[in-house]
């Protein structure tokens, strides 16, 4: 790519990013209440997305060998336990991910 193409690409990426950040504030100003369907989507979509990610990540489990499913199940159990204890999504996901990585790389080789 030439220098001009690089600059145009960066400018378009910046404009697209700014538009997605500022457009909701322009469309839904503070004078009117947020539509009920958007409030519903804001509450319903995050758990649905996480549920879909869990199903996607577990679709290829192999139950023929313990190392094919036990690390995943232990990491999920830890994630659920940490989330029930602390109620912090980032801490829960980080703990589960760290546990899975450690299990796969050091225990279930």
- Average pLDDT for residues 37-41, to the nearest whole number? 92
15-22 mean pLDDT: 94
Assign 108 a pLDDT band (cuts: 50, 70, 90): confident
Token reading at 58: 């577990």
Mean pLDDT score across all residues of the chain: 91
Residue 48: predicted pLDDT:
93
Mean local confidence (pLDDT), 65-92:
93
Angstrom distance (rounded) from CA 23 to CA 62: 45
Q: Distance between CA atoms of 107 and 39, rounded to whole angstroms?
A: 44
Q: Domain residues of the chain, as ranges?
A: 1-32, 36-107
User: Can you tell me which residue has the tokens 């029930």?
Assistant: 84
């Amino acid at each position: 790519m030439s220098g001009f193409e690089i600059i145009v690409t960066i400018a378009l990426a910046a404009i697209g990013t700014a538009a997605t950040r500022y457009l909701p504030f322009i469309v839904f100003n503070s004078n009117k209440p947020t539509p009920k369907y958007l409030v519903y989507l804001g509450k319903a979509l995050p758990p649905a997305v996480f549920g879909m990610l869990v199903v996607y990540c577990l679709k290829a489990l192999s139950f023929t060998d313990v190392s094919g499913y036990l690390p995943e199940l232990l990491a999920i159990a830890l994630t659920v336990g940490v989330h029930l204890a602390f109620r912090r999504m980032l801490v829960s996901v980080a703990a589960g991910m760290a546990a899975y990585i450690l299990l796969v790389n050091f225990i279930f080789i």
